[in-house]
Amino acid sequence: MNRRDGMNYAPTYEAKPVVKPGEFIIAAIALDHGHIYGMCNGLVEAGAVLKWVYDPDEEKVKAFIAKYPGARAAESMNEILEDPEVRLIAAAAIPSERGPLGNKVMAHGKDYFTDKTPFTTLEQLESAKAMATATNQKYMVYFSERLHVESAIYAGQLIRQGAIGRVLQVIGLGPHRLNASSRPEWFFEREKYGGILCDIGSHQIEQFLYYTDCQDAKVVHSKVANYNHSSYPELEDFGDATLVGDNGATQYFRVDWFTPDGLGTWGDGRTMIMGTEGYIELRKYTDVGRSNTTDHVYWVNGEGEHYEHVAGKIGFPFFGELILDCLNRTERAMTQAHVFKAAELCLKAQAQATNLTPNQLK
């Protein structure tokens, strides 16, 4: 796991199967983003059998099979789509292609698990909603900054236990390292990646909905900019937004591509959660100046001041829950409504954002 490269950051954990061998068959297609490895790690550790892989780039397929030697290279995407054994397809396509690909997967009677962001346009979202309803298939999303982060999972457990009372506000900071020379061309094309609020901002909005238990929210204000990367004119290197949930809870988040080279990880991601009876701070990937390790949780409430280093202690229950949801047609891992609402709000935040790029203020 490369802690300095967010695009290829793929957490692992001990295997905790929720199904018997061969009971849940999956495949991987569209290896455009390195998150496909994190997605497959979680599913395989939960007991899924990875039968197939397909991508038109043979080198990507070879690298994937080297990681998952049990997977076979399919000759075409249709070979996977038409295999009745495959229950779920995991994919990390170019963002603008994720929605249409999901529709194709669902139309073939399979559940779909895509990397974030799940869509780049509201039209894609509405199309996927219609297809999910028509087919009764799942359109699930890898919101890794909560689902694959033990401190974020632990925070959810604390909140559900009432440790800080009712959540009133969530502040999310999502800095990322650009590593421009290692990025594919599509990463810098606005139409293909969707914009910074649509892309990495989707993590922040999903967490807000989850921690506050909001079913809906309004984007009050949002901003984007290309402050310091004029050689990539379609890149947005900064974005922020303010939201108000349907229960009155609020959010502010900031995302950016300004992680300095001196940091030992790809981004100093932090989340602050304020409740009526206390607050929580998550230092997800490092504790600057103290420990270059992940998953530090600080919280204060009426019982006192608390700290827990939860790395390796919590695990990643989402993946096992997702497998069981697919088998039982339940929604314990994540509801479809939650997925689509997070997608809708990040698209709206992106669409209405004020552009602060020098000489482009509007």
CATH number of the domain enclosing 63: 3.40.50.720
> How many structural domains does the chain have?
2
**178 located within any domain:** yes
Give pLDDT, residue 91. 98
Domain that holds residue 214: 150-314+347-355
Q: Are residues 118 and 249 in the same domain?
A: no
Mean pLDDT, 10 residues at a time, the chain of 362 residues: 78 94 98 97 98 98 98 98 98 98 98 98 98 98 98 98 98 97 96 98 98 98 97 97 98 98 96 98 97 97 98 97 98 98 98 91 55
Give pLDDT, residue 245. 98
**340 located within any domain:** no
Q: Are residues 41 and 167 in the same domain?
A: no
**17 located within any domain:** no
Give pLDDT, residue 359. 76
Q: Are residues 111 and 179 in the same domain?
A: no
3-class SS of residue 132: helix
Say which CATH number the domain at 307 has.
3.30.360.10
Mapped to the 3 state alphabet, what secondary structure does 4-31 carry?
CCHHHCCCCCCCCCCCCCCCCEEEEEEE
Give pLDDT, residue 1. 56
Q: Are residues 140 and 157 in the same domain?
A: no
d(CA 162, CA 139): 31
7 touches 179 (CB < 8 A)? yes
Q: Are residues 140 and 200 in the same domain?
A: no
H or E, element range at 112: strand 111-115
Q: Are residues 165 and 125 in the same domain?
A: no
Q: Are residues 50 and 130 in the same domain?
A: yes
126-137: b (≥16 Cβ within 10 Å) or e: ebbbebbeebeb
Give pLDDT, residue 361. 59
d(CA 227, CA 108): 44
Q: Are residues 38 and 161 in the same domain?
A: no
**326 located within any domain:** yes
**6 located within any domain:** no
Q: Are residues 108 and 241 in the same domain?
A: no
**18 located within any domain:** no
Q: Which amino acid is at 254?
A: R
On whether the pTM is more than 0.85, the answer is yes
Give pLDDT, residue 282. 98
Q: Are residues 163 and 295 in the same domain?
A: yes
Q: Are residues 286 and 187 in the same domain?
A: yes
**13 located within any domain:** no
Q: Are residues 294 and 268 in the same domain?
A: yes
Instruction: Give the CA count within 13 Å in the CB-facing half-sphere of 197.
Output: 28
**8 located within any domain:** no
Phi and psi, residue 73, nearest 5°: -80, 120
